[in-house]
Every structure is written in structure tokens, then in C-alpha cells.
Structure 1
Amino acid sequence: MEESARFYRQPSVTSDLGRHRDRVVGLPAEPETLGAVVRSLLVHNHTAKVRGLRFSAGRRAHIETVGAEAIVDNVVGIDSAPLDRARPVGRRMYGFCYHFALLHCALLRAVGTAARVRCGFAGYFAKGRWIDHWVVEYWDGSRWVLTDSQTGRSDLTRDDFQDGVTAWKLCRAGAAQPAVYGNGELWGWDELRGSLINDVGALDKVEVAGWYWCDRLQVEPLDQPHEELDQVLDVVSVAEVGECFELYPDLRPPADAVAR
């Protein structure tokens, strides 16, 4: 595990804070406290809608931001205060769960904690449904701990969250129903395929959201089984970190991919 921990302590292209590395000085190192810092800098797009918050088109465009350095660019561009200074909700970066998880992961790595982003499905947003979601997993010295950087839920169990690899295997084995996995608009196999690719990419430290870049996943109908493609993804789901992209380089997320 020490080798794995060393790997996940180092920043990736997408989790590197770049010009903002010095901003971690003085931040709390405790993982859950650092998660609270993240929540004081960002506002989820759904939260903004529910609260009736209005943002300019330019601010709403931040939801397409990729990479931790660019996230902090947005944060300090709105309010240049130190990162441990909580912003009023209207002066936080407009984003979604990916941004919370990636920024938390980037800060954890920057303070020396092994961490990785996981893309998968949360079971606590809607009863009987698994909703597309991003969380963080950090090494506490003895085990990997799952925490939801957006909501503040900590020490998640597998009943709370299924990473993309786990969800894929369960559905392919017939132990779970694909139709209950989705994001509010899209449900089923397309969501499972995309989350699998995102999760495997994040394990290889290419942390990007969305899979519109991946032509190989664009099969019809999207929400139904596709045996040729799904057999390839079965291999991806059991491969060692990085190995699957040697076999199928077209499935490796590009570092500039954006959600839409």
C-alpha cells in the first residue's frame, strides 16, 4: 500500500494547483476539515437553483472548468481572499460535484495526504436510485476512507456510494438493475459506461468529467446492452491501473475533457 499511497500523494495534470500551490500554506491538513474549506469556496449548480441564486452567464460557464488550477483561478478571480476564508454563497464558484471532489483531492495531495477522486453513484439523494456523483477517497494510514466533498458526508460505506467499477460489475453480473443508475435525465447503460471510464481514468489520475469525447461509447441505443462494447469494458473494469489504456488508448480520458 505504501507504493500506492506514494502514487496518490503526487499531483496529476488535472489535480496540480500550479500557480496556486503556495495558497495551501496555513490550510488545515485534517481531511474532513479541508473538505469544509472546499464547501466554503464552491456552490453546487442545483443548490443555486433551489435557493433562487442568480449568476451571470460568465459565472455559470465555470461549470465547464477542468482541473484544480483552473478551479482556483475562478475562486480567487471572484474573491481574492485566502482559501481558508469562507465566501458568501453568491461569491463562490458555480460548479457541480466534480469540482468539489477534484479541488478537495488536489488540496489533500498538496498537504501530503494520499487521495484520489472516485466517479460513481450515490444512494442517498433519491430513495431506490443511484445518482451519478463524484467523491474523494483518502488514505488514513490504514484504509481508504470515502468522503463526499460536496455534502460533507464522511466515512461513506458501499451502501452509500458505489464507484464506477463496482456499479459496472454489479450490473453486468445481474446483481443490480441498470435502470436505477443515472443522473436525473439519463439512466442505464450509458451512465454506467461513462462513469466506469471516468472512474478508471481518475484511478490513473486523469480526473475529468463527462465522456462525450469518447467516440467508442457512442452506440445506439445508448441505454441498452451492447455486447461487443460491454465486453471491452469488462476488461477495463478488472485491469490494473493504467493497463487498460495500453490495451484501449481511445478510452483514456483526455486531460481537457469537459462535461456538458
Structure 2
Amino acid sequence: MDELIDFYLQPSVTSDLGRHRELLAGLPDEPEALGRVVRGLLIHDYTVKVEGLPFSDDRWAHLQTVGAEAILDNVLGIDAAPLGQERAAERRMVGFCYHFALLHCALLRATGTPARIRCGFAGYFQAGIWADHWVVEYWDGKRWMRTDPQIGRHDLSGDDFRDGITGWHGARADPSTSPAYGNGELWGWDELRGTLINDVAALNKVEVAGWYWCEPLMVEPLDQPHRDLDDALDTFARLAGSAHSVAAIRANAERYPEFQPPPDAVAR
């Protein structure tokens, strides 16, 4: 466990703050307080639409951002105030749950808390629906705590959130539940497959969103079972779920290179 804790304390390519590390002075190191910092820097694209904020095309392009350093490039390009200063809604970077989770994870690692992001499904946005969502897990000294930095919901239970591995196993055990998993556009097996590979990649600290790059997942029809592909993903998910060492995590990635995203994959 000590090896894993140290692994998730160190930055990845995508969670490295780069030249912005020097801006952390004065920020809190308590995990939920850092979540509030993140919410003061970012605004969800759905909120922008609901509130009718007049964001330019350049601002909307921030949805494609990959990596914590690039997120802060955008944040500070809009408003150069200290990171601990909450911005007005129209002065925040537009992003989605991935950006909230990745930036929170990056700040946690940089301030001394082991953390990782998880791609999965939240059950608290709409009854009976498991919505595609990213959250953060941080080590509190005894266990992994799950928190949602986008909305400030913390200590998530299994009834609140299912990671991609858990969601996959559940749907494979009871295929009738697969249509409940989605994101407003994609539902069922395509969503379950993509979320699974994103979740496993994030456990290996390759933290990107979207799976357009993954040719094996481009099967038709997308929302239907495909035996050979799904059997391979069963093994992939089982190995990832039982990987309790850095060596095991990396071995699973090496065994299935076709399911490993490039570290510069566009977020969306």
C-alpha cells in the first residue's frame, strides 16, 4: 500500500502543474477546501448554457483542454488573480466534470495528498440514471475518500457513484441495467466500454477523457453487446480491479495496449 500511496502522490504528465506550482503558496491543503478553490476557477458547460453566459468560441474551445497545467493556463489567461480568489461566473474557465476532477487531483498531489481521479457514473443527478461523471479519490491516511469537486459532494458511497470498473461488472452481470448508464447523448454499452477504459487509464495516471481514439471500441451498433470485444474487456476490468501494486497496474496496461489512451488525447 505504501508504494501505491507514493505513486498517487506524484504528478503524472496530465496532472503536473508545471510552471504554475509556484502559485500554490497560500492555498489550503485540506482536500475539501481545495475543492472549493477549483469551483471558484471553473464553470461547467451546462451551467454556462442554462445561465446564458455569452462565452466566445475561444472560451468554448477550453472544453478540449487536456492537462492541469493547460487548465491553469486558461484560468489565468482569463483572470490573473491569485488561484485562491474566487472568480465571477463569467471569468471562469468553461469545462466539464473531467476538468474539475483533474485540477482538484493535481492540487491535492501538489500539496501533499495522494489522489487519483475516477471515471464512472453518478447516481445523484437523476433518479434511476447513472450519469457519466468524473470524481476524485484521495487518501485520508486510512482509506480512499471519494469526493465530487464539481458540486462539493463528499464521502461518496457506492449508492452515489460507481467507478467504471464497478459499472462494467454490474452491467455484465445484469445486461438489462445497461441502458441506465449514459451521458445525455450516449447510453448503454458504448458508454460503459468507454468509461471503463478511461477509468483504468486514470488508475495508471493517464488522465484523459473521451475514447474517440480507441479503434477497438468503434463497433456497430455501438449500444449493443459484441462478444469478442466484451469478453476482452471483462478480463481487462477484472485485472484492473485486482491490481493492488504499481507493477500490476502497469502490467495490465502493457497487456492491453489497444485500450491505453495517448497522454495528449483531446478531452472531448
What CA deviation, in whole Å up to 9, does each residue of 1:195-231 have, x standing for no partner?
A: 0000000000000000000001101110010110011
Letter matched to residue 217 of structure 1: L
In 2, Cα distance between equivalents of 1:8 and 1:201: 13
Identity among equivalent pairs (%): 66
Distance 1:175 1:10 in 2: 38
1:249 to 237, 244, 257: 257
User: How far apart, CA to CA, are the structure 2 residues paired with 1:123 and 1:242?
Assistant: 30
* C-alpha displacement of 1:242: 2.2
Q: Which position in structure 2 is the counterpart of 1:157?
A: 157
Q: Which residue does the alignment assign to 2:112?
A: 112
Whether the 8 Å CA contact 1:64–1:259 is kept in 2: the answer is yes
SS of the counterpart of 1:9? Answer: coil
Partner of 1:199: 199
Aligned length: 260
For residues 47 and 116 of structure 2, the distance between their equivalents in structure 1, rounded to whole angstroms, comes to 25
Distance (whole Å) between structure 2 residues aligned to residue 203 and residue 54 of structure 1? 37
Q: What letter matches 1:253 in structure 2?
A: P
Equivalent position of 1:85 in the other structure = 85
Alignment of 1:7-46 (within 5 A): 7-46=7-46
TM-score by length of 1: 0.98
Which of 236, 259, 266 lines up with 1:258 in the alignment? 266
Q: Contact conserved, 1:212 with 1:259, CA < 8 A, in 2?
A: no
CA distance in 1, matches of 2:62, 2:175: 38
Q: 2-side partners of 1:192 and 1:115: how far apart?
A: 23
Aligned-partner Cα distance in 2 for 1:185–1:173: 24
1:134 aligned partner: 134
Verify: 1:224 aligned to 2:232, yes or no: no
Shift of the 183–199 alpha-carbon distance from structure 1 to 2, 3 Å rule, reads: same
Q: What is the alpha-carbon root mean square deviation over aligned residues?
A: 0.9
Offset of 1:175 from its aligned partner?
7.3
Q: Partners of 1:143 and 1:182 in 2: how far apart?
A: 29
CA–CA separation in structure 2 for the residues paired with 1:147 and 1:128: 21
The structure-2 alpha-carbon separation of the partners of 1:257 and 1:125, relative to structure 1 and needing over 3 Å to count, comes to same
1:82 and 1:259 mapped to 2: Cα distance?
26
1:176 is displaced (CA, Å) by 6.4
For 1:79 and 1:155, how far apart are their aligned partners in 2? 31
Please say if residues 146 and 155 of structure 1, whose CA atoms lie closer than 8 Å, have aligned partners that are also in contact.
yes
SS at match of 1:168: helix
CA distance in structure 2 between the partners assigned to 1:191 and 1:49 by the alignment: 23
Q: CA separation in 2, counterparts of 1:243 and 1:174? A: 29
- What corresponds to 2:246 in structure 1? none
CA distance in 2, matches of 1:129, 1:23: 39
Shift of residue 259, structure 1, vs aligned partner: 3.4
Does residue 1:168 correspond to 2:176, yes or no? no
Letter in 2 for 1:256: D
- The Cα of 1:250 is off from its aligned counterpart by 1.6
The answer for the alignment partner of 2:100 in structure 1 is 100
Instruction: Please list every run of 5 or more consecutive structure 1 residues that lacks an aligned counterpart in the other structure.
Output: none
Runs (4 or more) in structure 1 with deviation over 3 Å come to none
Find the aligned partners of 1:189 and 1:13 in 2 and give their Cα distance. 29
Matched, 1:53 2:61: no
- Give the corresponding residue for 2:187: 187
Structure 2 distance, partners of 1:119, 1:230, is: 19
SS in 1 for 2:154: coil
Specify the SS of the correspondent of 2:8.
Answer: helix
Matched letter for residue 229 of structure 1? L
Equivalent in the alignment of 1:3: 3
Q: Structure 1 residues 170-179 or 10-19, which shifts more? A: 170-179
Q: Distance in 2 between matches of 1:244 and 1:252?
A: 10
CA distance in 2, matches of 1:175, 1:234: 13
| Secondary structure of 1:257's aligned partner | coil
Mapped contact 1:170–1:176 kept (Cα < 8 A)? no
